[in-house]
Amino acid sequence: ETGVTQTPRHLVMGMTNKKSLKCEQHLGHNAMYWYKQSAKKPLELMFVYSLEERVENNSVPSRFSPECPNSSHLFLHLHTLQPEDSALYLCASSQDTAGRDKNIQYFGAGTRLSVL
Amino acid sequence: AQKVTQAQTEISVVEKEDVTLDCVYETRDTTYYLFWYKQPPSGELVFLIRRNSFDEQNEISGRYSWNFQKSTSSFNFTITASQVVDSAVYFCALSVNRDDKIIFGKGTRLHILP
């Protein structure tokens, strides 16, 4: 089983829809991350969770709402998105946000989101 | 502020050629980490290597090698005898010790032609 699993792999939604992206990690890590990858832009960090507490929120619009019910699962709830939100959304996990291996992040395959 | 520059947007080489991907970084921190990740067409970023700022030894792993030079703030990645399966986007990244963030470069898209 892969370390970090994201579902769905592809999602098409209208601007008035509500949907959720799911991420699950099987690595026993304590920290999880959401990134946005748009065409021709660097990877943008959106949210960081450590031990289920949000420790980073990079000025992300409120139409993106993260949820971390436990250290293995991370969700990104989407509502009233805009076409410019179309991108690849990547989830990652790491051992923790502190410690020797704190910043080796392991990524899922992403959800490719298209907003119509 | 931290910054990672990958000046090569796209490279194409013929299979079995060697290819070097350049990475230049900027930071005022004395303790930092450098990374390379590979993103194949399937989408996930695959961790390749992490080096800390106190270890300038070059590293070789099979056909992959990395050249870390603090004097030029560079962390270049060489693939020897490239193969079609090496085709991917490669990201160089930087993290400072006091921070959780990884700053990624824009990536270099590598095409290995058969």
Domain boundaries along the sequence of chain B: 3-113
Contact B102 A45 (CB under 8 A): yes
- If one compares A44 and B20, the residue with the highest pLDDT of the two is B20
User: How distant is the alpha carbon of residue B16 from its chain centre?
Assistant: 20
Contact residues on chain A for B35, CB-CB shorter than 8 A: 104
For B57-101, write each residue's pLDDT tens digit.
Answer: 888 899 999 999 999 999 999 999 999 999 999 999 998 876 667
Nearest CB to A105; choose among B43, B102, B105: B102
From A20-34, B52-66, B94-108, the region with the lowest mean pLDDT = B94-108
Q: Which amino acid is located at B36 in the chain?
A: W
CB B21 within 8 A of CB B4: no
Q: Which residues are paired to A67 by β-bridges?
A: A75
A95 contact residues in B (CB cutoff 8 A): none
* pLDDT (0 to 100) of residue B102: 87
- Cα(B106)–Cα(B109) distance, rounded to whole angstroms? 10
Distance, CA of A37 to CA of B23 (rounded, Å): 19
d(CA A93, CA B20): 29
DSSP type of residue B66: E
Q: How far is CA B25 from CA A12, A31, A73, B94, B105, in A?
A: 37, 25, 33, 7, 9
Q: What is the pLDDT of residues A53-67, one digit of tens each?
A: 777 777 899 999 999
Is A102 in contact with B100 (Cβ distance < 8 A)? yes
Average pLDDT, chain B: 93
Burial A56-85 (b: 16+ CB within 10 A, else e): beeebeeebebebeebbebbbebeebeeeb
User: What is the residue-averaged pLDDT of chain A?
Assistant: 89
pLDDT at A99 over 60: no
CATH topology for B3-113 is Immunoglobulin-like (2.60.40)
Which of B43, B46, B104 is facing A43, going by the closest CB pair? B104
CA distances from B112 to A20, B5, B80 (A): 37, 22, 12
Residue linked to tokens 């980073």: A56
Q: Are the C-beta atoms of B47 and B35 separated by less than 8 Å?
A: yes
How many contacts (CB atoms, under 8 Å) link A and B? 50
- CA end-to-end span of chain A: 33
Choose, out of A40, A43, A91, the residue to mutate when testing the contact with B (most B CBs < 10 Å): A43
Asked if A103 lies within 8 A of B46 by C-beta distance, the reply is no
Q: Which of B64, B57, B69, B12 is nearest to B38 (CA)?
A: B64
